[in-house]
Chain A
């Protein structure tokens, strides 16, 4: 019986982890569909940024209630994973509380796991209340209908159940140890310390050891199977941030937020135009015909760079960006969070297409990120103020995607709003966005002060 349980556990474990690895492979393949960008510079500064923002949660606490609750859940989940390690070893070898040889330190560990589990439970319940009862506005925006809304609640229910199972498992285990049950009790005394689950003991009052073992085993199995399931749920959910927040902050932009990249393809063209020695009648390079000329800007997810795609998978749809966006606050259609969700959803669609056909077949879906997901109206509402970038607790940059798409609209489709076209032709003709003569630029100095 014990052996069967061990074998079943190993099968479940291998299957769970194997499936997870498969998902991670799909994820990295999709991210690599993005264009190349070099973010390997300044490793020290990048590590520091990751340590501060992801590990240290420094931007989360800018909103204190959500921030502190999030730290409970985050620390809880990270630390309780030490206990999961013990659970896995016990599962494989059929042991009981293998780390208990640590003695007093083990008691301390179990006690802190229990307290953290309680804090996680409190945090998750507060999150649920904020989302569903208090109905905080950013959780009820247009893009949060259907799956995104349900996804968020499923995650919260899952965490509640996992923590409850963990505490039930400990409570029954403790009772079995007190009862001196075989396999559970140890001559050395009680293994572990149960500051939280001891209060659950009255629930199991009067149950026989056999029943207690069933409850304990059931809780143990559901808890670990739940974790394995949750691990695989990540890929299909916004919850991927628990993993991707780390690479995302590491590869985040370190330059001043106001600095937008200069398109290299354009620089080459401009240099050629300004170069007096360039031969306008030169025969084209024979190799050049073979290549499709590079697209300016982005009309689809794969025109973006891989960091932007990583951003899209990292987004956990908290909506801080959208709640800080001046366009969104004043009722415009633009929502930076939607930009990220659309990019991710479109990339997933491309990924599915590749899974099916071996390579991306455009004729299969006839869709692109622009228009089918993100409309021009959204793109033109942006003031490039960087509030969304500043607000993101894990270094996502929705503005860079908006800019790349505007570039496509203007340079490939000449589809800027008419007033902007007027301003741009003024700049071109007279060096100012208004129709004033460049020769009048110093007239102010002759006017009366």
Chain B
């Protein structure tokens, strides 16, 4: 598929006097990071395939403020939040889906008190609901029977108690799902949260992503499935650091679905 995909913006919907079913909040990583952009595109393809009327904010989107808040800069966070809420409320947004657990957590939990009340779902939850509603069909495909382990993003799992949606999707792909010894509630962080993505780690004897990648490698997987663009980067780096990039792929669950359905 060489041609670009059609991605309507909220402004375009507004101009036509229409409203989309859901706003896709792309996030900074999904917009700018080369690896994460692939996840964004895969997700958009699935949305189109399922006939979901979605829109993005495009150039009106800005950082949710998560990295600022977790770094301790509450001022910057609230400035970002209030600005974003003004845009979202201006478009009368009701439902938001995002492929980034950090954006998901921030908009879902921290925006309401500042005046932003939306139904916010993670893309794995949204895809699961599409399956349940019969709008999307996923059966087996190229990952059928493959050994896959899922790395729980902290801000989806422990932070918001969602462990099953991504796993349900993987089961639909009929993979052989193998859990790491540290998973779900006890999952180990990839090392990127709390602003760590944007700084060098403190002195220690190992990087967190290497520790986590080693746990993943213990399960002898063909693919490490992820649900967060930052985890994806950290695990990809970890796999490279362990010289395993020839045998192990790191893929977002949405990418796996898009590939299985040959989108």
Contact = CB atoms under 8 A, between A and B. Distances in A.
Contact of A449 (B1, B31, B68): B1
B159 A256 contact: yes
A112 interface: no
Contact of B78 (A258, A270, A381): A270
A330 B208 contact: yes
Interface stretch (B135-143, B185-193, B235-243): B185-193
A445 B5 contact: yes
A449 B74 contact: no
B72 A383 contact: no
Interface stretch (B56-64, B123-131, B170-178): B56-64
A34 interface: no
Interface stretch (B14-22, B198-206, B216-224, B245-253): B198-206
18 contacts: A256-B108, A256-B161, A258-B160, A259-B110, A262-B78, A269-B75, A270-B78, A326-B191, A327-B204, A331-B205, A411-B72, A423-B67, A440-B59, A442-B7, A444-B31, A445-B44, A445-B56, A449-B3
Contacts of B158: 257-258, 385-387, 389-390
B183 interface: no
B117 interface: no
B165 to A, nearest CB: 15
Interface residues of A, number: 71
Could you say which of A436, A446, A449 has the most chain B C-beta atoms within 10 Å of its C-beta?
Answer: A449
A447 B32 CA distance: 12
Nearest to B57: A441
Contacts of A408: 72
Contacts of B68: 424, 427
B159 A441 contact: no
B217 to A, nearest CB: 16
Contacts of B67: 423-424, 427, 433
Given A262-B114, A274-B82, A448-B2, A331 B206 contact: yes
B40 interface: yes
A410 B71 contact: yes
A296 interface: yes
B205 to A, nearest CB: 3
B194 interface: yes
A420 B202 contact: no
Given A274-B82, A383-B192, A258 B109 contact: yes
Contacts of A333: 202-203
B70 A259 contact: no
Contact of A383 (B30, B33, B191, B203): B191
Contacts, number: 228
B113 interface: yes
A406 interface: yes
Interface of A: 255-260, 262-263, 266-267, 269-271, 273-274, 296-297, 324, 326-327, 329-334, 377, 380-387, 389-390, 403, 405-411, 416-417, 419-420, 422-424, 427-428, 431-434, 436, 438-449
B41 interface: yes
A419 B195 CA distance: 10
Nearest to B78: A270
Given A406-B72, A411-B75, A449-B4, A330 B61 contact: no
Given A444-B40, A445-B4, A449-B1, A420 B195 contact: yes
Nearest to A377: B202
Contact of B62 (A262, A411, A431): A431
B207 interface: yes
A267 B111 CA distance: 12
Nearest to B204: A331
Could you say which of B108, B113, B202 has the most chain A C-beta atoms within 10 Å of its C-beta?
Answer: B202
B28 A434 contact: yes
Contact of B198 (A410, A419, A441, A443): A419
A330 B206 contact: yes
A271 B203 CA distance: 39
Contacts of A257: 158-160
B74 A263 contact: yes
B71 A406 contact: yes
B76 A428 contact: yes
A260 B69 contact: yes
Contacts of A260: 69-70, 110
B256 interface: no
A434 B109 CA distance: 24
Contacts of A255: 109
Nearest to B109: A259
A273 to B, nearest CB: 8
B202 A296 contact: no
B208 A407 contact: no
A246 B159 CA distance: 24
B105 interface: yes
B31 A385 contact: no
A372 to B, nearest CB: 19
B56 A442 contact: yes
B59 A438 contact: yes
B63 A442 contact: no
A297 B72 contact: yes
Nearest to A432: B28
B75 A332 contact: no
B202 A446 contact: no
Contact of A390 (B33, B41, B186): B186
A408 B75 CA distance: 12
Nearest to A380: B202
A342 B72 CA distance: 20
A267 B62 contact: no
Could you say which of B62, B114, B195, B201 has the most chain A C-beta atoms within 10 Å of its C-beta?
Answer: B195
Contact of A258 (B58, B105, B205): B105
B45 interface: yes
